[in-house]
Amino acid sequence: MKRLLLTSFLVFISIILHAQDQKWSVEANYPFTLDDGTFSNNDGAIDLGIKYRFFRTDLVRLGLDLNGGFVYDKAGNNNEDTFKSKTYLFQPKLFAEFSVPFAPKWHPMVGVGYSVVSNNFSGSISGTDFSDRSGADGGFNFDIGISYDISSRFFLQLKYDMILLQVKDEVVFDNERINIDFRENIDRLKIGVGFRF
């Protein structure tokens, strides 16, 4: 069994290393929130993605980008606050990656898609209980960025990510039911590394 796994792994690696047209890439990013809204107090965050390029010319590559992220938030101003928030993001996008003839290692990129933001809350803030509350919202997603090739396979990237989030919810506060319906812009900067295969 070990030999089969080792052989399969070596075959997979050799296919990756000898592929001429690198249609796939994986990436890992650290996102920073640029405003004071959602995700501004994150104690932990990661963003992982995979891209598939299905169309190519000399100047542009078009493809699909699937990103997933996680943000952990532990907010509170005093010792009695026990609020915790876990947020999961799913961001499918269409993207365009450009080649710059006079700077072949630099690749500007732009993407559009839809983001789904799923929240799970627990604890309390100033006596208001948020125990076991969860929900999901969504909205239009736009990103623009640039990548720099370290080698033919590895790259660094910097991306600006904007989510136009539509929030709809209903909460009970002091035995009164409150409807929440608003739009929020979430502006994030992602810094990361990637591998093409």
Q: Tens of pLDDT along 122-132?
A: 777 666 666 66
3-state SS class at 2? helix
Give the pLDDT confidence score for residue 12 in this predicted structure: 59
The residues near 138 (Cβ < 8 Å, ≥ 6 apart) are 114, 115, 116, 117, 165, 166
Give the pLDDT confidence score for residue 183 in this predicted structure: 80
The residues pairing with 52 across neighbouring beta strands, listed in sequence order, are: 24, 64
Q: What is the pTM of this model?
A: 0.77
**Both structure tokens of 28:** 């890992």
User: Are 89 and 67 in contact, with CB atoms under 8 Å apart?
Assistant: yes
Give the pLDDT confidence score for residue 7 in this predicted structure: 74
Q: How far is CA 1 from CA 6, 11, 13, 14, in A?
A: 9, 15, 18, 20
* pLDDT beneath 50, residues of the chain: none
3-state SS class at 193? strand
Give the pLDDT confidence score for residue 136 in this predicted structure: 80
The residues pairing with 162 across neighbouring beta strands, listed in sequence order, are: 142, 187
The residues near 131 (Cβ < 8 Å, ≥ 6 apart) are 121, 122, 123, 124
H or E element in which residue 24 lies: strand 24-33
H-state helical runs in the chain: 2-18
Give the pLDDT confidence score for residue 1 in this predicted structure: 62
Give the pLDDT confidence score for residue 121 in this predicted structure: 74
Q: Tens of pLDDT along 61-83?
A: 999 999 999 987 766 555 566 77
